[in-house]
Each structure stands twice: as C-alpha cells, then as structure tokens.
Chains A and B, each alone.
Chain A
C-alpha cells in the first residue's frame, strides 16, 4: 500500500479519526479555554484534512499537517477574541496572585536551589519523545500548570505567536510575559522530572 493511500485510509478509520479528534480537542481546549470555540477549530481543521488527505505520505505527515491547520485556526480565534473581548475578562484576577504564592519554594532565601529541588540528570531525554506514556505525562504536567501560565506557554511554544501578540491577547506587559514564562518553565520542568525523568518511568 502506498503512503498516500495509508493516510487516506487512516482518516477513513473511525478509531483513528476519533483518537485524533480527541487529541486535537484537548490541545484546542487548553489553548482557547472555551469548549465550543475549540470544537469549531477542530472541526474546521478536520474538514480541511479530509479534503486533502490523499496528498499526504503517511499518517505522521498527515498529523503534522492537521495540527498545523489547527494551530492557525487557534491563532485566528485568539486574534479575533482579542478584538472582541477585552483582555481582563480572559483572566481571573486571583489567577495572577496565586501563581507566585503557589510556586513551591524551589530556592532558599539566598536564591540557591534547595537541596531536594536541584535539577537531576535526565539521561537521554529525547528517547522519551517516542513513547506514548511520556506524552501523557507531558500533557498532564501542562494541564497542571495554573491556567494562565499554561495558556501563555502554549501560545508561545505551540501556536508560536509573537510576544506582542501574546501580550495584547492576555493583557500583560513584556516583562510580565517573561516572568510568567519563567514560572511556567520552572513548574513544567519540576513536574517532568518528578513524574518521568526521576525514575517514575521505570515503575507502574
């Protein structure tokens, strides 16, 4: 069977399609924080994919492409919302206060790593990228971030919006953006280490 046929057949396979739709929906919901807008974005991206499925070589290329469409839809939706709604309503006020307060004290009073929080060796981290279990942990760690941190980090890293666009969308200064990204990365790193790289992967 050719790769192109395989991609077409994958989309015709209800199980594959449903799994893909669920993954896309999780991604879009986390990003847009609105289930019905997320549904719309996913549906649009899938319709585009179904039209063009035959031009893809293999399911990996197909998925990359479907997610690329989805990212564009999400970016469009975020930009539209930026015009329609004003940023304040996207953010719960207490979200902001909580972020610093709930950050576990990774550092001592002098700003040095606390003994039990020092980053440990991750071995060969890229080998984890091929494992479905790793991506589940990764997703759980992202979803465990305070919502605004998760949204900002994803806008930056997945949707690849420019700093100015993120700042305008969520109503923050560039300095605040950098503070938020720093906190999000500290937390995400800690979660990945605790839940995957620190040996969690070896046991059930």
Chain B
C-alpha cells in the first residue's frame, strides 16, 4: 500500500516517464480512497498548464503603475 508521499512522487514521475503496470495499479488503488491525493494530481496538471503558459500569451503585461489598485475582485 503506497503512502501519500510515495503517491505524490509517482504523480510527479508520471509527467516525466511512463509508469509501469504495477505503479499504475497501486496509484489508482490509492486514488480511489484518498481525496487529498486526487486533488494533488489535478493540481499538478494545473501547474504544468500554468508553467507552459507563463511565458506565453497568457502573461498579461504588468498592470499600469497604480500601487493602490489592489486585487481585481
């Protein structure tokens, strides 16, 4: 039975290399029982998407220089 720590490693590795059958099965079994690790997995996907758009068109220019404008919501 994998620990959450080991699962986060496999989720990260899955972005780097194909996981083996045993690894995939253990991972899926853990995921059915652990909502925190399911969130972690989704969030790494989000982070990769963010990293890949960071330097691209989705980076808005720095907002005009009004230090008091605050957050936009």
Contact = CB atoms under 8 A, between A and B. Distances in A.
Contact of A158 (B9, B17, B54): B54
Contact of A64 (B48, B57, B71): B57
Name the prevailing secondary structure of the B interface residues. Answer: helix
Name the prevailing secondary structure of the A interface residues. Answer: helix
B51 A157 contact: yes
Interface string A63-89: 110010011000000000000000000
B29 interface: no
Contact of A63 (B17, B43, B56, B71): B56
Given A112-B3, A125-B46, A204-B71, A132 B62 contact: yes
Interface of B: 3-6, 8-9, 12-13, 15-17, 36-37, 39-40, 42-44, 46-63, 70-73
B33 to A, nearest CB: 11
Contact of A67 (B8, B55, B62, B63): B55
A71 B62 CA distance: 20
A71 B39 contact: no
Report, as a range, how many residues of chain A touch the other chain: 35 or more
A135 B59 contact: yes
Interface of A: 16, 19-20, 22-23, 27, 60-61, 63-64, 67, 70-71, 106-107, 110-113, 118-122, 125-126, 129-133, 135, 138-139, 153-154, 157-158, 163, 177-178, 181-182, 185-186, 188-189, 192-193, 201-204
